């Protein structure tokens, strides 16, 4: 029994490290808002390709039964879509946002960010062209990534 728990814990640690690597690759290739305005960043095809690769890696690494994982993936898709123009993820409502009840509940926890802690306007059933500002979205992905990784490390510590 202890051997099985140790193997499971080791596998989870490996998964967490791979997830961290994927999230790092994603975030380091997403430009800041000011970089995005420069024409060089707009045409950086190498970074765009790395972002698309990272989003697909994330797609296959996350656990779709965990609402916070789905929200992380959804916000990452939106971020990638805005930067690269690559969005094979839209649903039948032309929305990239996940609208199942658990994801909506999880999103409510992540809707306030920024210096003024102002509320972001999530219009879950509508198209997401102007749902959030670029820097808010990038910060949300970073913060939610940290929360997901921390939660998973807590599971490792508990031996789950």
With a CB cutoff of 8 Å and minimum separation 6, the contacts of 48 are 29, 83, 84, 86
Question: CA 74 to CA 72: how far, in whole Å?
Answer: 5
pLDDT tens-digit map of 27-73: 998 887 677 666 555 557 888 888 889 988 998 999 888 888 888 88
The per-residue pLDDT for 143 is 86
Beta bridge partners of 113: 118
User: Is the confidence at residue 106, as pLDDT, over 90?
Assistant: no
Q: What is the pLDDT of residue 134?
A: 63
How far apart are alpha carbons 153 and 79 in whole angstroms? 25
Question: What does the pLDDT read at residue 131?
Answer: 46
pLDDT above 60: residue 110: no
Instruction: Decide if 158 contacts 151 (C-beta within 8 A).
Output: no
Domain boundaries along the sequence of the chain? 2-158
Helix (H, G, I), strand (E, B) or coil at 114: coil
Residue 112 predicted with pLDDT over 80: no
Q: Is the pLDDT of residue 91 over 60?
A: no
pLDDT in tens, 113-157: 333 333 333 333 333 444 456 667 788 888 889 988 998 888 888
């Amino acid at each position: 029994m202890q051997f099985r728990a140790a193997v499971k814990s080791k596998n989870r640690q490996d998964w967490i490290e791979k997830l961290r690597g994927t999230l790092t690759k994603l975030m380091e290739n997403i430009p800041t808002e000011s970089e995005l305005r420069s024409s060089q960043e707009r045409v950086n095809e190498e970074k765009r390709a790395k972002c698309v690769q990272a989003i697909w890696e994330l797609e296959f690494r996350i656990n779709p039964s965990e609402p916070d994982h789905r929200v992380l993936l959804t916000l990452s898709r939106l971020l990638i879509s805005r930067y690269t123009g690559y969005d094979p993820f839209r649903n039948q409502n032309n929305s990239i946002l996940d609208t199942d009840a658990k994801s909506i509940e999880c999103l409510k926890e992540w809707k306030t960010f920024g210096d003024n802690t102002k509320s972001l306007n999530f219009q879950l059933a509508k198209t997401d062209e102007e749902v959030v500002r670029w820097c808010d979205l990038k910060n949300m992905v970073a913060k939610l990534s940290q929360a997901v990784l921390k939660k998973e490390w807590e599971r490792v510590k508990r031996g789950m």
